[in-house]
Amino acid sequence: KTSFNPVRRFYKCPKPEVNSCGYWEWHDEVFPDRALVVISNLKAQLDATTVKINTLSTSLDAVKIERDKLKEKVNTMEAINNSQVNKARELEEKFMKLKMFIMIF
């Protein structure tokens, strides 16, 4: 494959160009020009889509990190809330006991 013919395969001398014997042969037949244009356009679309996927993946990772931070905050707030509810219940119980104590005397 070459950059000018990305879908065509070929055989060539494996030696570097300086020492090459110059052997070069196409492995497959020539594609029609229209097919080459379509293939080139599809490859460009694939490349653009790959970039978009990578960008979205990075964004998704950032959103997941933010979500995890927010979950931690929610868990902390729930723990604080539960603690405050328990304190309120204890104070209500103390209040009721004091009220009963005052009523008795």
Specify the higher pLDDT residue, 103 or 4: 103
Task: Give the chain's length.
Answer: 105
Q: What's the pLDDT band for 4 if we cut at 50, 70, 90?
A: low
Amino acid code (one letter) for 22: G
Phi, psi angles (nearest 5°) of residue 32: -65, 155
Chain segment 40-77, per-residue pLDDT in tens: 899 999 999 999 999 999 999 999 999 999 999 999 99
DSSP one-letter code for 18: T
Q: Which pLDDT belongs to residue 69? A: 98
Q: How far is CA 57 from CA 8, 53, 66, in A?
A: 32, 6, 14
d(C-alpha 45, C-alpha 47), whole Å: 5
Task: Decide if pLDDT at 3 tops 90.
Answer: no
